[in-house]
């Protein structure tokens, strides 16, 4: 049986300021090599910086509520996902998955997904897809090096964390979902569901990309493992 890998791909890597074809081409090359080994991939693409730019702009034109901000964020994830899907030139499924609650079927080795509806992020969508596929591990690929014990942008003495339990991780992030501009390594709603399902989440910076390769190969990588099961191989 083919192994299915779930990836929550941060929009910050796909479109840091402008679309980044160099990153996408490198990412694509790794995925294609892994497919040759018999692996399949579900890749849920996030909104990243462009999501927050649209949200900031919308808030300056109307008194936007959280649902408004979520919806504009969702549509940015869908554009980002289409960019990634088309980059695979027919190797990915022909349409992006918008509803992670419905069991997706593989006719091709790659499924690309995006945001679904207000109230949670693409991290949550990745957890739902993992449930559908019976997968217990999710790779969260973004521009974040590690989970830290405090915000490293505000605290220069923040300490990186290489392994952490779900209960300890959830003490470090907001307890509730605000809107899709919330910037945490893995969002609180997704974390709650991943914990209940006994899942392991790997927080990995996608640059340099060989760090991602190490995680795929079961090698030691730079990043954080969030898990309660004690099996991080």
Residue written as token pair 């392991």: 200
Pick the more confident residue, 104 or 39. 39
| CATH value at residue 103 | 3.40.1160.10
What does DSSP assign to residue 141?
E
Model pLDDT, residue 105: 81
Question: 233 in a domain, yes or no?
Answer: no
Pick the more confident residue, 180 or 38. 38
Question: What pLDDT, in 10s, does the model give residues 92-147?
Answer: 999 999 999 887 788 999 999 999 988 888 999 999 999 999 999 999 999 989 99
Model pLDDT, residue 179: 46
pTM value is 0.91
Backbone angles phi, psi at 58, to 5 degrees: -65, -40
Question: 231 in a domain, yes or no?
Answer: no
Average pLDDT for the chain: 90
Question: What pLDDT, in 10s, does the model give residues 186-197?
Answer: 888 899 999 999
Residue-number span of the structural domain to which 26 is assigned: 3-226
- How confident is the model over 146-153, as a mean pLDDT? 86
Work out whether strand 110-113 and strand 39-45 pair parallel, antiparallel, or are unpaired.
parallel
Question: 79 in a domain, yes or no?
Answer: yes
Question: How many contiguous H segments (helices) and E segments (strands) does the chain have?
Answer: 8, 9
Number of structural domains found in the chain? 1
Question: 72 in a domain, yes or no?
Answer: yes
Q: Is the pLDDT of residue 180 over 50?
A: no
Question: What is the signed CA dihedral for 25, 27, 32, 34, rounded to 10 degrees?
Answer: 160
- Token readout for 58 is 């919308």
Question: Is the link from the previous residue into 23 a cis peptide, with omega within 30 of 0?
Answer: no
Question: 232 in a domain, yes or no?
Answer: no
Cα distance between residue 129 and residue 185, in whole Å: 18
Question: What pLDDT, in 10s, does the model give residues 207-217?
Answer: 889 999 999 99
Question: What pLDDT, in 10s, does the model give residues 76-101?
Answer: 999 999 999 999 999 999 999 999 98
Question: 99 in a domain, yes or no?
Answer: yes
Q: Is the pLDDT of residue 184 over 70?
A: yes
Helix ranges (H only) for the chain are: 11-14, 21-36, 48-59, 66-87, 122-133, 166-170, 188-196, 210-216
């Amino acid at each position: 049986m083919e192994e299915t890998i779930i990836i929550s791909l941060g929009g910050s890597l796909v479109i840091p300021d402008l679309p980044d074809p160099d990153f996408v081409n490198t990412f694509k090359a790794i995925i294609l090599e892994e497919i040759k080994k018999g692996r399949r991939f579900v890749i849920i693409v996030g909104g990243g910086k462009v999501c927050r730019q649209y949200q900031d702009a919308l808030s300056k034109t109307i008194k936007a509520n959280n649902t408004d901000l979520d919806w504009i964020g969702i549509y940015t994830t869908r554009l980002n996902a289409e960019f990634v899907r088309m980059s695979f030139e027919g190797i990915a499924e022909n349409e992006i998955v918008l509803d992670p609650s419905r069991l997706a079927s593989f006719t091709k080795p790659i499924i690309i997904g995006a945001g679904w509806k207000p109230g949670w992020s693409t991290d949550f969508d990745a957890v739902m897809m993992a449930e559908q596929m019976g997968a217990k591990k999710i790779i969260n690929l973004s521009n974040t090096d590690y989970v830290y014990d405090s915000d490293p942008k505000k605290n220069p003495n923040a300490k990186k964390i290489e392994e952490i339990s779900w209960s300890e991780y959830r003490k470090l992030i907001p307890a509730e979902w605000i809107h899709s501009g919330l910037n945490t390594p893995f969002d609180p709603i997704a974390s709650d569901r991943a914990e209940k399902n006994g899942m392991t989440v790997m927080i990995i910076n996608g640059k340099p990309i060989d760090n991602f390769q190490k995680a795929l190969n079961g090698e030691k990588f730079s990043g954080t493992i969030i898990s309660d099961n004690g099996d991080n191989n």
